[in-house]
Amino acid sequence: MKDISPDKPLSTLSFLENTEAPPKRHHWFLDLFIQLLKTKPLGAFGGFLVLATVMLAIFAPVIAPFDPNKIHGVNIVSPPSSTFYFGTDALARDVFSRIAYGARVSMTVGLGAVGLSVLLSTIIGILSGYFGGLFDTIVQRFVDAIMSFPWLVIMLTLMAILGPGMVNVILALALAGFAGASRVVRSAVLVIKESDYVMAARSVGCRDVTILLQHILPNVAAPIIVLATLGLGNAILAEASLSFLGFGVPPPAPSWGRMLSGDGINYMLRGPWLAIFPGLAISAGVFGFNMLGDALRDLLDPKLTGGIRLRK
C-alpha cells in the first residue's frame, strides 16, 4: 500500500487497484464441519454414531428384516442366528428389528422433546435476559424452583399425571429440561447485551424487536446448537430410563429401555443377548450425541462468550 502517503492526494485511489479478490468464503456450517474433523477426531466419531442412529431411525423399514411386532412361531428366546441377527425375545419377535424400530422411537421422542425444550428455553431465556429487571428476577425464581426437582422425580410425576403415551413422554421430558437450558440461553444473552454492536444499535434507535431478531438471536444460536445436541443425548437416556421403569412409551412400540427391563432381566439366564443389545444401542446413541455436543461446545462456545480457551 505504498501509494498511501501524506503528500499524495487521496483522489488517486490507485491503492485500490491491486487488491486481490477476498478468498472464497464457505458457509459457516461447512467451516465448522471441517474444523470438527480436523481438530476433534473424537467429536467426528460421535457425529458418525449420531448419523448411524438417525439413519437407522429413518430407514428402519428397509434395514429391519422383519416387522418388529411379528411373532415368529414358537422360537421364543432363541440365540442370535443368521435369520435373527440379535436373536428373538420372549414373544418370539426379532430383536434386531425391534432395535431398529426402537431407534425410531428414541429419535422421535428425542427430537420432539428437544425441539419443545429449545423453543421454551429460548423464549424464556431471551426475554428474561434481555429485559432484565423485576421480570427477570421473578422468572429466575420460577426457574430455580423447577430446577430443584430431581429430573426423574419430575418426569415420573408428570407421567403419573398425564398418563401413558408417546406424546406425554415428549411433554414430560421437555418440561423437565427446559429450565436448565433457559439458564444457559439467558447467560449468553446477558453477555451479548453488553456488546458494542448492541449498544450501537440501541443508540441509533433500533427497536427492541429488531435488536432481538437481528443481533441477539443469531448469537445465541451457538449455545442452543450445543444444548440441542447434548439434550438429544440426555433425552434418549431419559426416555430409556422412563421405559425401563415402565412409565415410558407404552407397548407394543419397541423401546430400548423397556426391552432391557422386560425381557433383559426376566430371561437373563436363558437369553443374555436380550440384555446386551438394547443397552448397547442406548449407550452408542447417547455416547455419539455427547461426544458430538462436547466437541461442538469446544468449537463454538469460547469464541462466543470470550471465555478462557482451555486447550492449546
The residues binding another protein (CB under 8 A) are 42, 141-142, 144-153, 156-163, 233, 237, 240-241, 244-245, 247, 257, 260-261, 264-265, 268-269, 272, 275-276, 278-279, 282-283, 286-287, 290-291, 294, 308, 310-312
Least Å from the CB of residue 145 to another protein: 4
User: Are the beta carbons of 77 and 274 closer than 8 angstroms?
Assistant: yes
Cα dist. 145→138, 142, 159, 171, 177 in Å? Answer: 11, 5, 19, 19, 13
Least Å from the CB of residue 209 to another protein: 30
Of 71 and 152, nearer to another protein (C-beta) is: 152
User: Are the beta carbons of 282 and 236 closer than 8 angstroms?
Assistant: yes
Least Å from the CB of residue 146 to another protein: 7
Least Å from the CB of residue 173 to another protein: 13
Of 64 and 159, nearer to another protein (C-beta) is: 159
Q: How far apart are CA 175 and CA 154, in angstroms?
A: 9
Of 116 and 201, nearer to another protein (C-beta) is: 116
Of 222 and 282, nearer to another protein (C-beta) is: 282
Residue 65 CB: number of other CB atoms within 10 A?
12
Of 158 and 249, nearer to another protein (C-beta) is: 158
Cell reading at 111: 427430537
Q: Mind giving me the DSSP string for 62-105?
A: HH-SS-TT---TT-TTPPP-SSSTT-B-TTS-BHHHHHHHHHHH
User: Are the beta carbons of 105 and 68 closer than 8 angstroms?
Assistant: no
Cell reading at 303: 469464541
Least Å from the CB of residue 312 to another protein: 8
Least Å from the CB of residue 162 to another protein: 7
Least Å from the CB of residue 257 to another protein: 8
Q: Calculate ∠ Cα 113-116-118, nearest 5°.
A: 105
Of 216 and 259, nearer to another protein (C-beta) is: 259
Least Å from the CB of residue 155 to another protein: 8
Of 16 and 161, nearer to another protein (C-beta) is: 161
Cell reading at 284: 452408542
User: Are the beta carbons of 227 and 186 closer than 8 angstroms?
Assistant: no
Among positive and negative, which fits the CA dihedral 174, 179, 182, 184? Answer: negative
Of 143 and 198, nearer to another protein (C-beta) is: 143
Q: How far apart are CA 114 and CA 174, in angstroms?
A: 6
